[in-house]
Amino acid sequence: MNFLVEMMISSYMPYIVHGILILGIVGYFASKFAGIYKFIAMPVSIALIIGAVFFEGNLYALQKYNKEVAEYQEKIKVAEEQSKKTNTVIQTKVVEKVKIVKEKTDANVQYVEKVLVKYDNMCVLPNATISLHNSASQNEVSRSTGSPDERPSDVKASDLIRTVTENYGTYYQMREQLLGWQQWYKEQRKIYEGIK
């Protein structure tokens, strides 16, 4: 109920203010002919004029503000549409690039499984190699001494190369995703800074 009253007042407010201004002007000129009531009618009319002018200014400022808000909301709507289109384009590019990296990685892993496994018996890896690889993958320093009398590892060279190949593939997939995020940020920033 309160909302309805506020809506009615706000929609009729310009007419009310204009009416008060006209009443004040008419009252001011009529007060010159009011005789003894002139001293009451004139200050009341002047007060009505001053109040109406004040509210006219407020109404003008409110209308200007509402117009600017509407224009800004329209700009935001356009920017959101541009943003959605940009998101789709960037996401499509990133997905395609990640797919290409995955295909290359899979092809290299297949090469390891078809060709390099033949050489497993020719290449024996010491435990120091595996320790260094595992430490590097965890961003740690290897604890292996790497002494020449160290036992050979049970890990085959083809398994190590497969793991390294898969890790490189993961790295390049993550790289493409990061580049996509960076491009997304630049494009979104450009779109939304254009609103100002």
Q: Please tell me the distance from the alpha carbon of residue 168 to that of residue 101, in angstroms, as a whole number.
A: 10
Q: Helices (DSSP H) in 115-147: which residue ranges?
A: 127-137
> What is the token pair recorded at 52?
């109406």
Overall average pLDDT of the 54-82 stretch: 88
Average pLDDT rounded to a whole number, residues 53-65? 85
Asked if the model's pLDDT at residue 133 lies above 60, the reply is: yes
Q: Which domain holds residue 51?
A: 2-193
Give mean pLDDT, residues 61-90: 91
Q: How far is CA 109 from CA 73, 113, 137, in A?
A: 53, 6, 19
Both tokens of 103, joined, read: 């295909």
Q: How many domains does the chain have?
A: 1
The whole-angstrom separation of Cα 94 and Cα 192 is 22
Tokens representing 49 are 């004029």
Question: Which residues, in sequence order, are CB contacts of 166 under 8 Å at separation 6+?
Answer: 105, 109
Half-sphere exposure of 75 (CA within 13 A, CB side): 12
Question: What number is the average pLDDT over the span 63-85?
Answer: 91
Is pLDDT at 107 greater than 60 in this prediction?
yes
pLDDT at 190 > cutoff 70: yes
| H or E stretch at 102 | helix 38-114
Asked whether the predicted pLDDT for residue 6 surpasses 70, the reply is: no
Torsion angle of C-alpha atoms 109, 112, 114, 118, degrees rounded to 10:
-160
Q: What is the dihedral of CA 135, 139, 141, 143, to 10 degrees?
A: -30
pLDDT score of 9:
59
Radius of gyration of the chain (CA): 40
154-166 average pLDDT score: 92
pLDDT of 148: 60
pLDDT band at 7 (very low <50, low <70, confident <90, very high): low
Check: pTM over 0.85? Answer yes or no: no
Q: What is the pLDDT of residue 99?
A: 97
Angle of the 38-114 helix axis to the 2-31 helix axis, nearest 10: 140
For all residues of the chain together, what is the average pLDDT?
86
